[in-house]
């Protein structure tokens, strides 16, 4: 049975794979499709993908000891290529942070505050799972939004990732 550390690494490998699949589909769309106002948690495909990237950035910052009080400035007027570059940066930094950790290292508590200022303390392993789950939730929204602009969403089932690996 894989260790918890290996499970977390596998989840982030899946997250990176799934995000890349969506980024590839989004790259094939016209600007008017990316920015079309659609009904969902965020007003467009670009806004939803931007939220995924920004949320992964926020959590990485918290794990590194910083405590952002708002989403980053670059989210205010996102461009797809900028979001893809920022996501690659986040993934590389997260890999550097998590790679040396073993099961014990993943048990360390992370103290942080939400944007509303509420203090929390959670295990790093639980926060890692939260990030992957959060991104999966919003990739599901991207699937629905893509259908609304006449595009086809990529298959990002975890089992497909495992089979392709």
CATH number, domain with residue 131? 1.20.120.450
Residue 49 near residue 83 (C-beta atoms within 8 A): yes
Domains identified in the chain, total number: 1
pLDDT of residue 69: 95
Q: Note whether residue 164 is domain-resident.
A: no
Tokens 């099961």 — which residue? 103
Dihedral sign from CA coordinates of 34, 38, 41, 42: positive
For 46, the token pair is 């670009």
pLDDT of residue 140: 97
pLDDT of residue 39: 87
Q: Note whether residue 165 is domain-resident.
A: no
Give the chain's residues under pLDDT 50. Answer: none
Confirm whether pTM is higher than 0.95: yes
User: Domain range spanning residue 93?
Assistant: 4-159
Residue 144 near residue 40 (C-beta atoms within 8 A): yes
pLDDT of residue 68: 96
Q: What percent of the chain has pLDDT over 70?
A: 100
Q: Note whether residue 75 is domain-resident.
A: yes
Q: Note whether residue 92 is domain-resident.
A: yes
Q: Note whether residue 67 is domain-resident.
A: yes
Q: Note whether residue 78 is domain-resident.
A: yes
């Amino acid at each position: 049975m894989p260790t918890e550390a290996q499970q977390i690494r596998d989840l982030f490998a899946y997250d990176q794979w799934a995000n890349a699949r969506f980024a590839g589909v989004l790259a094939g769309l016209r600007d008017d499709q990316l920015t079309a106002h659609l009904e969902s948690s965020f007003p467009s495909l670009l806004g939803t993908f931007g939220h995924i990237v920004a949320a992964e950035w926020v959590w990485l910052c918290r794990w590194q000891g910083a405590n952002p009080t708002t989403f980053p400035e670059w989210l205010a007027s996102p461009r797809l290529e900028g979001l893809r570059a920022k996501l690659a940066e986040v993934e590389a930094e997260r890999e550097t942070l998590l790679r040396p950790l073993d099961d014990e290292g993943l048990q360390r508590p992370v103290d942080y505050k939400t944007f509303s200022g509420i203090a929390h303390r959670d295990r790093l392993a639980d926060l890692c799972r939260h990030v992957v789950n959060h991104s999966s939730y919003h990739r599901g929204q991207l699937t629905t939004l893509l259908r609304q602009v006449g595009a086809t969403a990529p298959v990002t089932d975890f089992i497909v990732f495992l089979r392709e690996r």
